[in-house]
Amino acid sequence: MAKRKSLIKIKPKSYKDGEVVKVSFMVMHPMETGLRKDKKTKELIPAEYIKKVVFEYKGKVITTMNVWETLSVNPVFTTYMKIDGAGELKVIFTDSKGEVQETVAKIKPKG
């Protein structure tokens, strides 16, 4: 399946070691509940939603989110994290159809 558009945003843009920053993960996902009907065919659209989001920083899991279909379309997940040296921040999501995708952001603290 085509890769879904996703993005990791870190605020503020420049940060130092030991600073606590805001991390947002956004992904383009339909988040179908399985309750909605197709307007033309009048058939139920099968459920398709993100089940799990894992934040991994320097190979260590820092945050795990269990998600249900009650989140909005194109969900955003925002939390904080403590900067602890340069490394990769990976956000991995799994959806109800078994699709797994990884988004990577590089963490480069200044000073």
Partner 1 sequence: MQRRDFLRNLGVGAAGAVILPSVSFAADAPKPKGSNVLSYKDALKAVTGGKTAEVSAKVNLKVPEIAENGAVVPVTVEIDYPMTDSNYVKAIHVLTEKNANSRCIDVHLSPANGKAMLATRVKLGETQEIVAIAELSNGTFLMASQSVKVTIGGCG
Sites of contact with partner 1 (CB under 8 A): 20, 22, 24, 31, 33-36, 47, 57, 60-73, 75-82, 84
* In the complex, least distance from residue 12 CB atom to partner 1, rounded to whole angstroms: 14
Among residues 3 and 36, whose Cβ is nearest to partner 1?
36
* In the complex, least distance from residue 110 CB atom to partner 1, rounded to whole angstroms: 18
Closest-CA residue to 11 (of 111, 80, 66, 69):
80
Among residues 2 and 42, whose Cβ is nearest to partner 1?
42
Closest-CA residue to 53 (of 8, 3, 22, 1):
8
Question: In whole angstroms, what is the distance from residue 51 CA to residue 75 CA?
Answer: 12
* In the complex, least distance from residue 76 CB atom to partner 1, rounded to whole angstroms: 6
- The structure tokens listed for 54 are 């894992």
Question: In whole angstroms, what is the distance from residue 72 CA to residue 1 CA?
Answer: 22
Among residues 14 and 78, whose Cβ is nearest to partner 1?
78
The pairing of strands 20-27 and 50-57 is unpaired
Among residues 2 and 38, whose Cβ is nearest to partner 1?
38
